[in-house]
Amino acid sequence: MINNDFHADKPASIESEDKFQRYNFARRIAETIAQKQNCDGIIIGIYGAWGEGKTSVLNFIDSELSKVNDVICLKFNPWRYSDENSLLISFFNVLTIALDKNLSTGKEKVGEIIKKYSRLLKFDIPIIGGNIGEAADSIGSVMAEIDVEDLKKRVEQIIIDSNKKLVIFIDDIDRLDKYEIHSIFRLVKLTADFYNTTYILSFDEEVVSKSIGERYGTGDLESGKNFLEKIIQVPLTIPKAQPEALRDYCFEMINGIYKVYNIELPEGEGRRFVSLFTTSLLNKFDTPRMVVRYTNSLSFSIPLLAGEANMVDLMIIEAIKIVYPYIYKFIRENPVYFIPSHLLNRDDEKKKELVKKEIDNLCTNFSNKEKESIIELLTELFPLLETAYKNISYPDWKITGWYKNKRIASQKYFNRYFTYSVIKGEISDISFEQLVSNLSTMSEREIIDDIKLLIQNSSADNFIYKLRNVEADLHWDIAKKLVKILVVNTELFPLNPQNYLFESQSPKGQLAIFIYQVIKKHNNPDEQLSFSKEIINESIPLEFTFDIVRWLNPKEEEPNNIFTKEIFQEIWEILLKRILKEADEKDIFEAFPEESYMICKFWEGFGRDEFNKYMHKLIDENPQKSIFLLRTYLPRFRAMGDDEYRDGDFNEKTYKYLVSILDKDYIVDAIFKVYPKAELEKQEVIWKDRDEVGLTDFEMARQYYHWYLLDLEEL
């Protein structure tokens, strides 16, 4: 649910809403006006930059003056009127209503007098190219009918007799165009000599001076300021909001967002945000309005990405969007400089120089100190960027950590920070984490249904990637439960060989590694062995069983094997029994044509005598099986993009390996029973050299015989 209660940037009105210590400033102004003895009109200017809180100061002054009986306050909004005539008429209408409401006389109404006075002011300001003569004639005809000074004196006398002071607030002058600004100051100048009248005008001095300067003097800023000095009698600049007050205001609003959505930052993350924000960003939030813009942005983005992104990274990148919009745009449009990429090498020197040059260009107008602060902020947000400035590199486990913590620096999360959504094809972290947290209480059917739904909405690749990143955090009992469910549903994890250079990269290959890592991280050897045996004996595809066994098999070069060769022998014996049982009366070549190599490989490795007996019996009964044996040991290859493996030639290495297991003479005698010796000798040996045309059984047998003859010559 999105927060519909965004902060509307509503100005403060009462003292309890003052967060930036402006109320005392406003109170002193109000007291000065209330205690003023001189009846001459006065114009006060409240100066402040856009968003600094000028309207709040006006409201505070109004709040204090409302407590004084002899003061009449009225607010005039210049935004509502499209031309000067409308502006003037409306101003006097507002003045009429305010005075008639607050003054009671036995004579004529103030409104009637003001209406006569306002007639004089109802004329167009001649614009360059306009008809000044016509305007002058219009003014003259009105003045012939009305004694202006008499009307002014009558209005002033009524106000004086009532002992009332009139205070007129005009706000947001700096938001008008230059013609509208000119009209406002003309209005004020024409009416400011009403007795007992105080104008309080609020605007950004720089903006208004520039606009006025374009119409007067030399057209520069200084000309505009000179003009203002003639109009504004008391210029006052509102006190700057202190950084500490802005910081507290910002944190208060952020805490409010987190409270509404019941979100908690992980331990340490709150400190990380405060450190980054106060060090590199706080000084750029120099007005309350900027804080409101920022927190309104968070009110939108936090609920959309809660649980789907790193909240601190989100708050920092949103702050960059507000205070450094060009840098934000550059990051969004150039991810290759900020996140790991398979397309560009992490150590690409050209890329490093380019990104440094781009950041230098973006920081052209900043001081060296601010530039250093920006680079420090960006390298914290995107650690990979640090390699452009320092001779360092980040290992894969660090990059995996960015993914695990949903950092913007992760390739799989980067776009999420700019789209504010889980992109189609991605897996929602909330849905995935809900599944993981509920594994202990869910039934097997519920678990597999949820997994199927996640994969259906995304991909097996994305699911197994997320699973791999929580494997170290799963409790042993929960991990066992999940593994036992996954191994009987391996069809959810395709091999897709055409998409991967190595099978271990495929979803199925990654699932086997996940199971291996679950077993490896457990610290009870007896339970590791027991669970491994249980998995191996499950009714799962033999091909996938061997994927697991290959990882469990101890390797001489690996210092941290789970099992010794002696203990692993127990696992192999269980698997062999299962193989022979499932083969029933068929031989392994017939029953398991795709897995026969792995069966032979493990069998001759962990029980060579038994393996030899099995092969001798098989070949003695059917010499054709010697051909199956040769093909089983053929080297196989698959090019990237190929759907299937292809057989290579029966090379010398393969020959030497095979005859180290089985007697070479025994094999050749069996081959002669299939292909007579004379027939083999009559045919020249043919080498396919990865030819797309497959190797025939006869050609393969001839290749074996070729190596056999060379072997004899060496004796």
CATH number of the domain encompassing residue 40 = 3.40.50.300
Q: Let me know whether 143 and 32 are in one domain.
A: yes
**In-domain check, residue 15:** no
What is the number of structural domains in the chain?
4
298 & 181 share domain: no
Distances (CA, A) of 690 to 503, 627, 665: 20, 20, 28
- CA-closest candidate to residue 652, choices 715, 695, 585, 708: 708
**Angle between the 311-323 and 368-381 helix axes, to the nearest 10 degrees?**
150
Whether residue 269 is found in the same domain as residue 339: yes
Q: pTM of whole model > 0.85?
A: no
* pLDDT per residue as tens digits for the range 643-660: 677 788 999 999 999 999
| Predicted local confidence at residue 3, as pLDDT | 45
Residues 445 and 513 in one domain: yes
pLDDT given at position 102? 61
Q: Tell me, what's the pLDDT at 143?
A: 39
Same domain, 285 and 204: no
Residue 426 lies in a domain: no
The answer on 364 and 305 residing in a single domain is yes
pLDDT at residue 130, as a whole number = 38
**Is there a single domain that holds both residue 527 and residue 613?**
no
Do residues 408 and 357 both lie within one domain?
A: yes
Is 4 within the bounds of a domain?
no
Helix axes 664-674, 625-632, angle to 10 degrees: 120
Q: DSSP letter string over 78-120?
A: GGG-SSHHHHHHHHHHHHHHHHHHH---SSS-HHHHHHHHHHH
- The Cα 24–Cα 9 span in angstroms is 22
Please name the helix (run of DSSP H) or strand (run of DSSP E) that holds residue 199, with its range, or none: strand 197-203
For residues 692 and 673, membership in a common domain is answered with yes
Which amino acid is it at 388? A
DSSP 134-181: HHHHHHHHHHHH--HHHHHHHHHHHHHHTT-EEEEEE--GGGS-HHHH
Decide if 45 contacts 232 (C-beta within 8 A): yes
Distance of CA 34 to the CA centre of its chain: 54
Read out DSSP for 319-382? Answer: HHHHH-HHHHHHHHH-GGGTS--SSS-TT-HHHHHHHHHHHHHHTTTS-HHHHHHHHHHHHHH-
Residues contacting residue 518 through CB under 8 Å, at least 6 positions apart: 471, 474, 479, 480, 483
Decide if 427 is inside a domain: no
Report DSSP letters for 640-688, one per residue.
TT-SS-EE----HHHHHHHHTTS-HHHHHHHHHHHS-HHHHHHSPP---
Residues 227, 248, single domain; the answer is no
Choose among 524, 444, 432, 529: nearest CA to 483. 444
- Give yes or no: residues 98 and 180 share one domain: yes
Structural domain contains residue 591: yes
Provide the domain limits for residue 623. Answer: 584-715
Q: Which of 237, 265, 290 is the last residue of a domain?
A: 237
Question: Looking at the domain assignment, is residue 121 inside a domain?
Answer: yes
> Quick check: helix, strand or coil at residue 637?
strand
Which residue, 366, 389, 419, sits at the end of a domain? Answer: 419
Q: Alpha helix locations (H) across 214-281?
A: 221-231, 243-260, 269-280
Q: Mean pLDDT of successive 10-residue segments in the chain (715 residues)?
A: 53 81 88 84 88 88 90 83 68 73 54 61 40 39 49 67 84 86 84 83 90 72 84 88 86 90 88 92 88 91 92 96 94 89 58 89 92 94 90 83 92 91 84 91 94 91 90 93 93 69 78 94 94 89 90 86 92 94 92 92 92 95 95 80 76 94 95 95 87 83 94 81
Residue 40 lies in a domain: yes
User: Is residue 11 situated within a structural domain?
Assistant: no
CB 142, CB 120: distance < 8 Å: yes
Distance between CA atoms of 396 and 413, rounded to whole angstroms?
16
Domain co-membership, 449 together with 491: yes
